A = this chain, B = another copy of it.
Amino acid sequence: MKSILIKGAWIVTQNRERAIIKGDVLIEKGRISQVGRTRSSADEIVDAAGDIVMPGMVNAHTHVAMTLMKGVADDMPFSDFLDRVFALDAKRTEEDIGLGARLGCLEMIRGGTTTFVDMYYSEDVIAKGVEEAGLRGVLCWAVLDQQFTTQTGDPLENCKRFHQKFKGKEKILPGIGLQGVYVCSQETFLGAKEYSQKNGLLLHFHLSETRKEVYDHKAKTGQRPGEWLEGIGFLDQNCLAAHAAWLTMNEVSALARVKASIATCPVSNMKLATGGVAPIPEMLKASVNVSIGTDGSTTNNSLDMLQEMKTLALLQKANRWDPTVVTAQQALDFATVNGARAIGMGDKLGSIDVGKRADLVILDGKAPNLRPLRPDNMISNIVYSSNAGNVKTTICGGDILMRDRRVLTLDEEEIASKAESAAEELLNNIK
Chain A residues 91 to 110 lying within 8 A of chain B, measured CB to CB, are: 103, 106-107, 110
Which residues between 320 and 377 of chain A lie within 8 Å of chain B, taking CB atoms? Answer: 320-328, 366-369, 371-374, 376-377
The reply to whether B416 and A368 contact each other, CB–CB distance below 8 Å, is yes
Cβ of A3 < 8 Å from any Cβ of B? no
- Supposing A70-B377, A366-B416, A424-B372 touch, asked if A384 and B301 sit within 8 A by C-beta, the answer is yes
List residues of chain B with CB within 8 A of the CB of A277: 318
Q: Does A81 contact B (CB under 8 A)?
A: yes
- Report A266-282 residues with CB < 8 Å from chain B CB: 267, 269-275, 277
- Selecting from A35-43, A56-64, A71-79, A254-262, the interface stretch reads A71-79
How far, in angstroms, from A168 to B166 measured CA to CA in the complex?
Answer: 69
> Does A111 interact with chain B (Cβ within 8 Å)?
yes
State in angstroms the CA–CA spacing of A53 and B311 once bound together: 27
> B423 near A372 (CB under 8 angstroms)?
yes
Question: Size of chain A's interface in residues, with CB distance under 8 A?
Answer: 74
- Measured between beta carbons, the chain B residues less than 8 angstroms from A269 are 318
- A323 touching B77 by the CB < 8 A rule? yes
Residues of B close to A419: CB separation below 8 A: 371-372
Q: Which residues of B contact A371 (CB under 8 A)?
A: 70, 103, 416, 419-420
A-side interface mostly? helix
Question: Residue of B at shortest CB range from A211?
Answer: B321
User: What is the bound-complex CA distance between A117 and B12, given in angstroms?
Assistant: 35
Q: A275-B318, A369-B388 are in contact. List 20 more A-B contacts (CB 8 A).
A: A70-B371, A70-B381, A70-B385, A72-B377, A75-B323, A76-B323, A78-B323, A81-B323, A103-B368, A110-B369, A270-B317, A273-B320, A273-B323, A301-B385, A307-B307, A366-B416, A368-B415, A371-B416, A387-B387, A387-B389
* 13 interchain pairs, CB-CB under 8 A: A75-B313, A76-B324, A106-B368, A271-B314, A301-B384, A302-B384, A302-B385, A303-B369, A304-B369, A368-B415, A368-B416, A372-B423, A372-B424
